[in-house]
Structure 1
Amino acid sequence: MGKKRREEKLRRKTNQRPPLTLKEAFKFFPGLFLRTFLVLTPVTLAMVLLASLGLTFFNNFFVQIAVYLGVYFAFQRFIMGPLYRRPTPRSK
């Protein structure tokens, strides 16, 4: 392995974020739960309203799970935002 390649590999390794410990992750949980609640509550209300208006399609458990998963994955960047924006360690 050449000197440049070795230096580049070392630079990439020092700029990576270390994995979160459980203690550090606890700081993010309230925000994640709140954001998930804000995203999925309107979806739940919409499905209840549509089911009460006669669309029995939304009474199916698997349809509800599919809708929840679709919305969750569509808004995943918003929900997990605090974890994506945490700072990277500075190289010394």
Structure 2
Amino acid sequence: CQLSNLSWNQFVSSDGIKPNGRYGHTAFVHENRLYVQGGQNSEVLFNDLWMVDIILPEVNFSPTVAPKRDYDTALPIPAPRKKTTSSNSY
């Protein structure tokens, strides 16, 4: 976000992949990196993880590992969720 002119930058990975627009996701910043996980749009319930290095900027994508599910928590990797939250103790 460029506060001087209230505009946003769109990040695209080196291979041209970019995150889809979404809401209800989890996002947090840790050590100059922005992480965005999950969420949904009008067509898709996401189970992906994006990392943006906010200094370089560099984008990395972690593809979906667990199958997309709803109302299922018995997974070693969280299922796609709506309106999730995260916290950082740092």
TM-score, length-scaled by structure 1: 0.21
Which structure's CA Rg is the greater one?
Answer: 1
More helix by percentage: 1
Q: Which has the higher contact order (CA 8 A, sep 6+)?
A: 1
